[in-house]
């Protein structure tokens, strides 16, 4: 008998707010977090806007000395974990920490550290490279430092599947609890990628919108006719997963139950999704089958919805392929319209949004939806949040390299 798995804690650091309440209230208000880039001088870049996390002070969450030895992406992860543990009200001192694990992934890792240390190398020579360069930069340090800070000695790993990272991390953690390898898992994604090289790279790919540098809040417009590319964002989304027995025994608040997980590959192209969204549909199907449910039981899809022409089209086709006529009964929205695309952190933040949607029976909107695309004819919850019963919801993440990941959350029923 597999263990049931529930979400009992939430930690969110996002361009629209830090902390669960700020994040959720901004989502429901349709607030955009996209603005001019301030982390470096973006003059001369074709895209000069991003979803930056403003007013983040790592020393509010982490010892000052230790924070200096962490890349910004790791600081986000540790801070979001602290928030999630506090939200869960779990007493770590009374827990068996060998039964608590961590999987916090990142798509790019410590790229700000990489950039700053290359500048030191080329301008000042090898002797000026920090001894903390490597342990600050490598992608597993979000998990490593989180485990160290909180003394967690259970299963420990790092998922790197580009934009599917956060969802794969939560799905893998879900499996570990299901099969008894842990009682509690810290899971999600983190990213701090608003750096010169990363932005230049995405600009060179022509993947980002270049049309709204003077009006950034309208730049991210998933599923809308005039969408022209994604907008980068940064942040972290971390959840506390527990076996149901463990959560009930300590009287935990339960946001939602994780009941299904699907993962597969397009095996098609390094950046482009497979035509027609065939593998994305199969990924969603895997999650539904894993949950022992049928398609008619799903009420809402928190879409990957990047605001790129092909991704949004193919995700829509995938939903219609899988759900048939029921696709038109679904609410489908993309919070990337507000946060931008948080890359490896997107799945973690979007899992949180999905859990809160289920708990509150209110669907966040897709903002900047002005002109419908005739080819995209689903209900994308345009511009305003909507009160409606949500018993079961999917959260999709699709990444460069063809990685697809879907988790299925349900209202918790004893």
**What is the token pair recorded at 71?**
């890349």
Backbone angles phi, psi at 14, to 5 degrees: -140, 165
> Among this protein's residues, is 203 annotated catalytic?
no
Strands (DSSP E) contained in 24-63 are 35-36, 49-50
Which ranges of 165-299 does DSSP label H, i.e. alpha helix?
165-178, 196-205, 244-249, 278-290
Which are the contacts of 169, defined by CB distance < 8 A and separation ≥ 6?
103, 104, 105, 159, 187, 188, 189, 347, 348
Q: Three-state SS for 344? A: helix
The C-alpha atoms of residue 256 and residue 237 are separated, in whole angstroms, by 16
- SS3 letters for 110-160? CHHHHHHHHHHHHHHCHHHCCCCHHHHHCCCHHHHHHHHHHCCCCCEECCC
Cα 266 to Cα 277: distance, rounded to the nearest angstrom: 9
| Torsion angle of the four alpha carbons 229, 40, 19, 291, in this order, in degrees rounded to the nearest 10 | 40
Identify the H or E element spanning 73: helix 72-88
Which is catalytic among the residues 163, 193, 203, 351? Answer: 163
Distance of CA 211 to the CA centre of its chain: 25
SS3 content of the chain, % helix, strand, coil (to 5): 40, 20, 40
Q: Which two tokens stand for residue 165?
A: 């990272």
Tokens of 350: 């979007």
Catalytic positions, written as ranges? 163
């Amino acid at each position: 008998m597999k263990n049931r798995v529930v979400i009992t804690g939430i930690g969110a650091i996002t361009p629209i707010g830090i902390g669960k309440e700020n994040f959720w209230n901004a989502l429901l208000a349709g607030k955009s977090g996209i603005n001019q880039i301030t982390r470096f001088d973006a003059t001369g870049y074709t895209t000069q806007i991003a979803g930056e996390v403003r007013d983040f002070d790592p020393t509010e969450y982490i010892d000052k000395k230790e924070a200096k030895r962490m890349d910004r992406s790791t600081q986000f992860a540790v801070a979001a974990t602290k928030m999630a543990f506090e939200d869960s009200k779990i007493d770590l001192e009374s827990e068996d920490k060998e039964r608590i694990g961590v999987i916090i992934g990142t798509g790019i890792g410590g790229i700000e550290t990489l950039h700053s240390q290359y500048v030191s190398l080329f301008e000042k020579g090898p002797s000026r490279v920090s001894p903390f360069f490597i342990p600050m930069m490598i992608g597993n340090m979000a998990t490593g430092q989180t485990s160290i800070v909180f003394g967690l000695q259970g299963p420990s790993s790092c998922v790197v599947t580009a934009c599917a990272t956060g969802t794969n991390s939560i799905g893998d953690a879900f499996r570990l609890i299901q099969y008894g390898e842990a009682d509690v898992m810290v899971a999600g994604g983190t990213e701090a990628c608003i750096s010169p090289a990363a932005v230049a790279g995405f600009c060179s790919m022509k993947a980002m919108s270049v049309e709204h540098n003077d009006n950034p809040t309208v730049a991210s417009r998933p599923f809308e006719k005039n969408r022209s590319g994604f907008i980068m964002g940064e942040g972290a989304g971390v959840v506390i997963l527990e076996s149901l027995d463990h959560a009930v025994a300590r009287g935990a608040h339960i946001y939602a139950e994780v009941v299904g997980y699907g993962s597969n590959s397009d095996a098609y192209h390094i950046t482009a999704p497979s035509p027609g969204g065939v593998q994305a549909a199969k990924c969603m199907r895997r999650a539904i089958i894993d949950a022992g449910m049928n398609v008619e039981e799903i009420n809402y899809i928190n879409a990957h919805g990047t605001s790129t022409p092909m991704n949004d089209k193919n995700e829509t086709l995938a939903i219609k392929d899988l759900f048939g006529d029921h696709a038109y009964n679904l609410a489908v929205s993309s919070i990337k319209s507000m946060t931008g695309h948080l890359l490896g952190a997107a799945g973690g933040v979007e899992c949180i949004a999905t859990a809160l949607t289920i708990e509150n029976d209110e669907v966040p909107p897709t903002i900047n939806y002005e002109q419908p695309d005739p080819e995209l004819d689903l209900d994308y919850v345009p511009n305003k949040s909507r009160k409606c019963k949500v018993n079961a919801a999917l959260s999709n993440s699709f990444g460069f390299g063809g990685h697809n990941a879907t988790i299925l959350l349900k209202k918790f029923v004893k």
